[in-house]
Structure formats: C-alpha cells, structure tokens
Amino acid sequence: MKYFLLLAPCVLALATPLYNSIEPQLFGIPFFFWFQLALIPVSALFILAAYLIERHD
C-alpha cells in the first residue's frame, strides 16, 4: 500500500500523453500547465498518506 501511494504520483506525472492538450483551460491556463501545477499538491498528499500509514504500522 505504501509503495502504491508513492508510485501513483510518479505514474501520473510521467503519463505525459494524458495531459498533453490545451483544453480544458482553467482561468485561461492551458490544461498542460494547470494539470501539472495541480499535481504537485496532490503528489504531496499521496506522500503524506504514505507517511501516516507507515507511522500507524
């Protein structure tokens, strides 16, 4: 589980064809840019989850 949580953001970040498009835009920002920016805090949450799980064990 812990390693899955760590792997998930890496897979998303490297799945470039998934986010290589202009649409849908957000506040005029192309998808390519805002998706990657949004993925940064999301990846931190994944790592936080891994951290909490490890502590719990």
Report residue 56 as tokens: 């719990």
Whether the bond into 41 is cis, omega within 30 of 0: no
Between 1 and 33, CB nearer to another protein? 33
User: Which amino acid type is present at position 42?
Assistant: V
Q: What secondary structure letter does DSSP report for 17?
A: H
Q: Which of 3, 24, 56, 57 binds another protein (CB under 8 A)?
A: 3
35 with 9: CB under 8 angstroms?
A: no
For position 57 contacting another protein by CB under 8 A, the verdict is no
**Contact positions toward another protein, by CB under 8 A?**
3, 6-7, 9-10, 13-14, 16-17, 20-22, 27-30, 32-33, 36-37, 39-41, 43-44, 46-48, 50-51, 54
